[in-house]
């Protein structure tokens, strides 16, 4: 599983990244988490509003910053 966080590096993007790391750690799953800040790559992925969250290339949501508990549900449903 590969989780991608799309954003330019704002506070919300960083918070989403940290919450994702916490959720993955609490779930005890092995996955890659990447932060994508290159605007060209963000646009190529079809992201119009950041931060955005994707699992294996599928955008799950954008323009929100859920907590670790909500992220655990999203990640669990995808695995």
Cα 26 to Cα 20: distance, rounded to the nearest angstrom: 10
Cα 72 to Cα 27: distance, rounded to the nearest angstrom: 7
The structural domains of the chain, ordered by start, are 2-78 (3.40.30.10)
Per-residue pLDDT at 41: 95
Per-residue pLDDT at 47: 95
Answer whether residue 17 shows pLDDT above 90: yes
Structure tokens at 54: 């994707």
How does pLDDT run across 25-71, given as a tens digit for each residue?
Answer: 999 999 999 999 999 999 999 999 999 999 999 999 999 999 999 99
Q: State the pTM of this model.
A: 0.92
Catalytic residue numbers, as ranges: 10, 13
């Amino acid at each position: 599983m590969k989780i991608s966080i799309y954003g330019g590096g704002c506070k919300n993007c960083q918070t989403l990244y940290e919450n994702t790391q916490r959720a993955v750690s609490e779930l005890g799953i092995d996955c890659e988490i990447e932060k994508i800040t290159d605007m060209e790559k963000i646009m190529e992925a079809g992201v119009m509003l950041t931060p955005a969250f994707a699992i294996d290339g599928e955008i799950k949501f954008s323009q929100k910053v859920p907590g670790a508990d909500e992220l655990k549900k999203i990640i669990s449903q995808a695995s």
